[in-house]
Structure 1
Amino acid sequence: MNDPFALDLTIILLLLGVGAAMVAGNLAAFFNKNHKRENMYLRRTVFLTGVGLLITIWSIASLINR
């Protein structure tokens, strides 16, 4: 079936953007942790980086498989 608005591609690209933003944001928080000398939630940062990486890899695989 032809999708006139390419919604399946749009959803995949949005997920790619969200996953990449999660990875980039959490890695930036991890590497900038010593500048403010505040407590950092290390477990949460590592967990959310992993989730973002999973979303990013899954969306790249979906784009390749398409």
Structure 2
Amino acid sequence: MTENSLITLYCIEDDFIHRFLETSAGKKNLAMYYGKRAPKRRMPIADAVILNLIRFFDRTGDLKTFQLVLRF
């Protein structure tokens, strides 16, 4: 993926997430994402979604391999 396509994908996904979180289903999902028992999450939900989208587009099989690729 090129830099321009990543920026475009992020803008589209960020707009979608902001609109989705305004709905009642979005508020329920946001409450589950920032659950009460787990440690506080520092990464916004939009960033977590975009990383997963990039992982699927790159056809990386598992999360551990994807994290190793990101370090380089």
TM-score bracket for the superposition, by shorter chain length: 0.3 to 0.5
TM-score (normalizing by structure 1): 0.38
Question: Which protein has the larger Cα radius of gyration, Structure 1 or Structure 2?
Answer: 1
TM-score (normalizing by structure 2): 0.35
Structure number with the bigger relative contact order (C-alpha 8 A, sep ≥ 6) is 1
